[in-house]
Structure 1
């Protein structure tokens, strides 16, 4: 899966990029249809805001989280993204069985 990371008013190192990519590998294992994801990390007013966008089976799925520290914000947004993907996967399965 291709991961595009953009930052605004914050810089991340190679170690941080590798950690983010390793977390995405777990999601990619559960959802092999994912081709790419866009991550935007911003720092505004001493808050780190992380937005993740991806396309899953023709629908755009996004997640957003805010925290004082960058890593918990990333973890929270990944958790929300996974929940959104599971919801979409459930909708697709229910459409098949209808």
Structure 2
């Protein structure tokens, strides 16, 4: 698994890098078939003071790419909500993949019994 953490108008410190890696352990624990993860952390220069910190992630799995973004006043809070959203999407994808192997209707046993005519 390749992990890329980059900053836009922001220097990615070792503390931020370690925080993101620790949070991504939760995703790896739930679903280990991740090919590539790209995390982009951004500080926007908006006139309004709220929601200036933005975290976004592209998670590439076999057959699917998941994109999630989160905005907050605090960068760590943005990362937390980002990981929560990503975890929900990964769990949804995992359940779809696992449920895909259900039995086909043509292979189910015949349980139909015709009604008796009087």
**Aligned-pair Cα RMSD in Å:** 1.4
Q: Describe the superposition over 1:24-53 as per-residue Cα deviations: whole angstroms up to 9, x where unpaired.
A: 122112111113210011111251111111
- Counterparts of 1:20-35 in structure 2, within 5 Å, are 20-35=20-35
**In 1, Cα distance between equivalents of 2:34 and 2:95:** 16
Superposition TM-score, scaled by structure 1 size: 0.90
Give unpaired runs (5+ residues) of structure 2.
104-118
**Which structure's residues are more often strand, by fraction?**
1
Tell whether 2:96 aligns with 1:86: no
**Which structure's residues are more often helix, by fraction?**
1
**In 1, Cα distance between equivalents of 2:92 and 2:73:** 28
Q: Tell me which structure has the larger Cα radius of gyration.
A: 2
Give unpaired runs (5+ residues) of structure 1.
none
Superposition TM-score, scaled by structure 2 size: 0.76
Aligned length, in residue pairs: 98
Q: Which residue of the partner structure matches residue 96 of structure 1?
A: 101
